[in-house]
Amino acid sequence: MESAKNIIFSNPDTMPGTFGYSNIAEVKNGRTLYISGQVALDPNGNIVGEGNLALQTRQVFENIKAGLAAAGMTFHDVVKLTFFLTDISQMAAVREIRDSYVNIETPPASSAVEVSRLIREEFLVEIEAIAAGAWDTL
């Protein structure tokens, strides 16, 4: 997968090394899309994968994918992901699913935070995304 032509991902030698994310995502001459934190709800508002982090994470990425598509974008345009997990020790399982959606050669900048609870007790993960696209993707 290639990055969008208006996005440059980098990991300068002067910054700490990374594992599955880029330190910097630079957007040149484009538009920005902010996708609110997504949880494991299907389009009808039903919870998906109650008690199952992998199923919830996949649904969350499908929700983000739908949001990107509605704006004429794809995961190639994602420059930043923020993960909120109720158990950060499970981040490896989330990364595995993430890697089936994002460009692992130039992954987006990312942050991960453990939280005591999300908006509903059943939710195990919430992910928000920032994407940048060229003006011609309108």
pTM: 0.84
pLDDT digits (tens, 9 = 90+) for 58-89: 999 999 999 999 988 999 999 999 999 999 99
Neighbours of 44 (CB within 10 A): 5
Direct distance between the N- and C-terminal alpha carbons of the chain, in angstroms, rounded to an integer: 21
Rounded to 5°, angle at Cα 92 from 66 and 67: 10
Is residue 19 scored above 50 in pLDDT?
yes
Three-state DSSP state, 28? coil
DSSP secondary structure string for all residues of 47-84: B-STT-HHHHHHHHHHHHHHHHHHTT--GGGEEEEEEE
- Taking a C-beta distance cutoff of 8 angstroms, is the pair 84, 46 a contact? no
- The highest-level CATH class for domain 7-137 is alpha beta
Average confidence score pLDDT of the chain:
89
Give the pLDDT band (50/70/90) at residue 136: low
Q: What percent of the chain has pLDDT over 70?
A: 93
Q: Where are the domains of the chain?
A: 7-137
Read off the pLDDT of residues 21-43 as tens digits, 9 standing for 90 and up: 888 878 777 789 889 999 999 99
d(CA 46, CA 88): 24
* Res. 120 pLDDT band, cuts 50 70 90: very high
Check whether 137 has a pLDDT greater than 70: no
